[in-house]
Structure formats: C-alpha cells, structure tokens
Structure 1
C-alpha cells in the first residue's frame, strides 16, 4: 500500500466577518514570514563565514513575536506555524543550490495561508466547511471527496478579482501495481503548441493568452488612465484580473484533459528535462511560454502516471534530440528556422516529430538499462 496525496479545490463564500478574519490571517502570515526572514537574513550575513555557527543557529519561531505583537494571537496559530515551515523549505532550497535566497512577501504576492487538521478542527459539513477561527464557511463543493481520503490540511487563497478558494489536501492508501510497459510515447516540447508526440500528433494547444491579448491590453489601458486607489480604478483592476484568471483556468483545464488522455493510452511518457524559464529568456519567447504551461503539464503527468503505476521518464536536457536523425542516428547542426529535418540517408521529417521519435528511443533505452 502506498500513501498518496490529492488536492481538491473549491470556491468558498465567506461572510463579511469571515472575510475580515481571512484578510487578517493573510496579513499576519506575511508579517511573521517577513520578520523571521529578516532575522535569518541578519544571522546569515553575520555568520556566513562561520559555517558551523550558521548551521547551529536557532531559527526564530512565530511564538517569539506573539509577546510583542498581541494581535497575532487573534488568528489561526497553525497558519503562522506553516509560514515558518514555508520559510524553512525556501532556506533549504537555497542552501542546496536549487533556488535563490528567499524574498520578502508583499501584498502583491499570492494571498494565501495554510492550516492543518488537529482534533477535528476541520470538517466538511452539508454545504459548509468548518475551519479554525472561521467556524462554518459556505463552500461550493462541485464534486465529492471519496470517504477513504483523509483531510490533512487546507489552503485558503484569494484571487486578484476577490474570489475566495480552498484547496483541501487529502491523504489516502492505494495499492499501486506497477504496470508492464508496453505502450511508450515521446513528447517533444513545442514553444507554440505544447508538444508533438512520437506518433506525429500535435497537442493543438489553443493559445488562450494570445487570444485574450487584445482585450486584455484594452482593459489595461483603461486601468492606466484611472487614478490609482480610486473606486473606478479598483473596479477596472478587477475586470483585468478576471480576464487573466479566465485565461489561467482555460489553460489549466486543457492541460488536465491532455495529460489524462496520455495517461489513459500509454504506460510510459518520455520527456526532456528542460529549463523552460531559462529557454524563454535566452530565446526571447516570453508570450509563447506564458501561453504554454509546460511545467504545470508535466507535474499533472507525473502524479497521474504515478497513481496508475505508470512512469514519467525524463531524459537529459543535453540529449541531442533535435540534431539526431531518427532513422540512421547521425548527428548534424540544425538552425532554429529550419522546420524540416533532412538527412543524407533520405529522411525528410518535421523537426519536432523527428525529435519526439529520438526522445522515445532514448526513453526506451533508459528503461531497458534500468532493468
């Protein structure tokens, strides 16, 4: 039996009083996070030359600030404890070389906080969810959470347009039987269409962001002409935020469907381990990446395949999938402007399809060597 996690996201409709408490918690979590970060930053600057002392330095905790700032006691203490855990994760990622030094949070950051289940303090009731400090909050639960799923934590968030959501993280036991790998597909990342697979099929990704670009630009121009902070400015800000949220929701929905489709038909999916952010900056493909969501797509693939006992295989980003002939294996340089791969052996293929075939072959080779 394997322990798996699954999150369920629902819209919530808090009362004015509950909204006030949610906002207060957002603010307190941000305040505590920044306080702890400032202290840890000072410690790092003072002790960075003494690695042993730095390693043994005791990090600050939210409890330290409650004596000085009494109002911190008004909000959910578990939310403050999770702010500390988040900072710890950010620090560990920095010291491992996987991330930059943690940054201070501002009101522009995502407004959210996480609370945990302790002694039945979180419970789904009929059309409501019981939460610490908030009591019963109205929830729009559009699908059931299976009874064998145990609630572990909840993350409350607010979008830029003022909508409230709750993400309920659950844990459940599942017997995962490793599937025999028969059907394998290779995916070549495509900047303007998500991917081309080794069957020659394209994802046919709708360019949600680009489709909305004119409308978004028009609404953003209106926003820029209004006095910042005024009632009309705020109304217009919400209009802009709603367009951006619609694009994000359309993208997420498409990526869920496409990843589910692949997981249904294939036992293993092979992709390249790409640094998409670095690629977009180097090649100046900002809008194309904004309209793509490759990182989200691969994370969806990862957990869906794992749940089915199937595999996601990542090949080295330096593997020359684009330069290699999928027929004879010879390698040659190919310009970004060349959309067809032509080889002296007679191969004449779409470059992305050729890459996908090479990615599939490399994935099969890695699978064979791992056995």
Structure 2
C-alpha cells in the first residue's frame, strides 16, 4: 500500500514537472509486481517468508539463507508467466573498491554468425534459443489469436505463450552468465565495444539482434567482472573490423568476407578474432598501467556472511609488477 501511494505521487510529479501524461489507472494484467519497502525483522524464516497482510508463505530458497551481517531492506513479489518470485534485497555497510587494470587482457567481439570471438582465438556459436522454440511459439500464438479476449480459455492459452517466452529468457540469461564467467576465467581484463544495441535492433537484422540479447550479455559481463575482481572496459567500436591488429592498416571488407588478410603486413586470421584483437589493443591504449606495482583485488573474504557462500574466485597474493604492453 505504501508503494502504491509512492507510485501515484511519482506519476503526479512526472505529469506536472517532467511533462509526462496524466496518471492513468492500471489496466487488467499490467500490475505484475508489488513491493514491501521495509521490515522490522528478517522475513525469511526457514522455508517461509513472512509478508505484511499476507502472513508466512512457503518458498523455495534453494538452501540460501540470509548471510549474517546483512539486513533485509525490501522484498518485491513478481509474477512472471503465472509463476511468483520473491526478490529479496539485502544490505551490508561495506565499501568494495572497483577493480584496477591488471593482468592478461581479452578483447571480445560479438556478432550473429558467432556469438562471440575473443582475441585469444576462442569462438563460441550461439545456441539460438529463440529459433529453436520459434515453431512451437508460432503454433501457440496462432491458437491464442483465435480465443475470445478475457475469457478463461484465452487466459489459459496466454499463460502457455508466456511460459515459452519465460523459458527462452531463462535459457538465454543462463548462457550469458556462463560465458561471462568463462571470460573471467580466461583473463583479468575484458574489453567490449561501446555500441548502442537499441539502434542496431531497428535494422534489417533486428529480430536476430534482439534474440541474442547482446545488451544483456554486456551488462552481465560487467557485473561478473566486478564480482570476481576483473577489470571491464568499453572501447570505441568504429572500424574495429576494418583495421589490422598487427600494423594498424585499414583493410576494407564487406560482411561476406569472413577472413582478415592484411596486404601490408600479411597478417591472416579469422575476421571476428581480428576484431577482438583490435578491441583488445584499443582497450590497452585507453588505460594507463604504468606505475601499478603489485595487485590489490577486492574479494569477499572476511566480509559478513561469506562463511556460508562458495565463491568462484578465491583471493590470492600476487607478487611482481603488472605487465607492460607495447604498441
């Protein structure tokens, strides 16, 4: 109830000050979440969560209790495809510094022919989750279009379509997280192109761009790098596929040419791998690693609640100076 009043005030301020439209009532099916902004005590009690006005509700915590030293700030209940989720936000008063540039750099080039190609020569094909489920989704959507809206059969069929989309979304997000951790396993610095994928999604290949979710993958990679103490950076994307990573010469080629062959220095490589190497070189140029002696990474060791978590990245004492890269 507090959140509903807050949303009403925010909508009214947006109407008067920002220039948004007049506040409207939510239509049927548009209110898919509710927020509980504060709690006197920890609402998660074993396999139940205690919510105001609702009481204890059984949940599947996945054997992840609230860590000691953390406080539950708010809980948002979300309905996705007729499945209810509880998003619990916890807080701990600690300061975690951002990772500094160090170690082995990796340039990542994403595309439609191959999901990603790294500067180390790793090529990953896209599973194409949407394309695999497209025929089944097409059939369910055709059946939905023949139902009378707001009827019980319409709602049953709508949930079937929503669950297909939910399955595709979960599979794609799981794939993005696994690839992000694989990049962090391979290097200490990850560089990607600074592209606006919303503009690319409006082109001729917009459907394929949206199905791959490159914007989500970049955001997840940035989060995983911060979590594991790896440095993440974005570089200028202009002309990365038209530049030679060895000599810097311009090598013009269209999309049909999948091999990079420089006439100046004779460098021969896969087009996407060469683009990843150009991204890596631009990332190295954009940072200044001179003067960084030794490595200091921020890990979760010693923070409250880490005694029950299994971290993929263990803190290690690194000796020696940071590598110096020559152009």
Measured against the shorter chain, the TM-score band is 0.7 to 0.9
CA distance in 2, matches of 1:197, 1:102: 49
Offset, 1:148: 3.7
C-alpha change, 1:324 and 1:208, in structure 2 (3 Å) is same
Question: For the aligned residues, what is the CA RMSD?
Answer: 2.9
> Quick check: 1:354 aligned with 2:274?
yes
- The answer to whether 1:181 aligns with 2:102 is yes
For residues 132 and 306 of structure 1, do their structure 2 counterparts lie closer, same or farther at Cα, with a shift above 3 Å needed? same
Q: 1:348 Cα deviation (Å)?
A: 2.9
Alpha carbons 1:207, 1:291 under 8 Å: kept = yes
Match status 1:335 vs 2:254:
yes
What is the CA deviation profile of residues 220-275 of structure 1, one whole-angstrom value per residue up to 9, with x for unaligned ones?
A: 01111111122212111111111111111111111111112222332110001110
> Residue 39 and residue 107 in structure 1: after superposition, are their counterparts in 2 closer, same or farther (change >3 A)?
farther
What residue is the counterpart of 1:303 in the other structure? Answer: 223
The answer to whether structure 1 residue 115 and structure 2 residue 36 are counterparts is: yes
> Paired residue for 1:226?
147
Aligned to 2:134: 213
Task: Quote the offset at 1:212 in angstroms.
Answer: 0.3
**SS state of the match for residue 247, structure 2?**
coil
Long gaps (5+) in structure 2: 292-327
CA distance in 2, matches of 1:351, 1:193: 11
Q: Match of 2:175? A: 254
Tell me, yes or no, if the aligned pair for 2:201 and 2:210 is still in contact at 8 Å: no
| Residues 263, 44 of structure 1: alpha-carbon distance in 2 compared, 3 angstrom cutoff | closer
Aligned-residue offset at 1:116: 2.6
Which residue of 2 is the match for residue 41 of structure 1? Answer: 15
Which of 38, 55, 59 is residue 135 of structure 1 equivalent to?
55
Q: Judging by fraction of residues, say which structure has more helix.
A: 1
After superposition, give the CA deviation of every residue in 1:37-63 in whole Å (9 maximum; x if it has no partner).
Answer: 255324455xxxxxxxxxxxxxxxxxx
CA distance in 2, matches of 1:178, 1:209: 35
Residue correspondences, number: 287
Residue 307 of structure 2 is matched in structure 1 by none
- Report the alpha carbon displacement of residue 364 of structure 1 after superposing the two structures with TM: 1.4
Deviation at 1:365, TM superposition (A): 1.6
How far apart in 2 are the matches of 1:314 and 1:166?
33
**Counterpart pick for 1:315 among 235, 243, 255:** 235
Instruction: Rate the CA distance shift 1:267–1:369 in 2: closer, same or farther, 3 A.
Output: closer
Match status 1:194 vs 2:115:
yes
Structure 1 spans left out of the alignment, 5+ residues: 1-24, 46-90, 92-100
More displaced, 33-42 or 342-351? 33-42
CA deviation after TM superposition for structure 1 residue 141, in Å: 0.7
**1:185-212 alpha-carbon deviations (Å, 9 max, x no partner):** 1101213443111112123221001100
CA shift, 1:366, in A, is 1.7
Question: Against the structure 1 CA distance between its residues 149 and 304, is the aligned structure 2 distance closer, same or farther, given a 3 Å change threshold?
Answer: farther
Structure 2 residue 283 is matched with structure 1 residue 363: yes
- Alpha-carbon separation, structure 2, partners of 1:130 and 1:335: 59
CA distance in 1, matches of 2:62, 2:22: 36
Q: Deviations over 1:47-104 (max 9, x none)?
A: xxxxxxxxxxxxxxxxxxxxxxxxxxxxxxxxxxxxxxxxxxxx9xxxxxxxxx9997
Residue 15 of structure 2 contacts residue 23 of structure 2 at CA under 8 Å; is this kept in 1? no
What is the TM-score with the length of structure 2 in the denominator?
Answer: 0.78
Distance 2:88 2:229 in 1: 24
Q: Is the 8 A contact 1:129 1:138 kept in 2?
A: yes
Distance in 1 of aligned mates of 2:228 and 2:155: 46
Partner of 1:271: 192
CA distance in 2, matches of 1:335, 1:126: 59
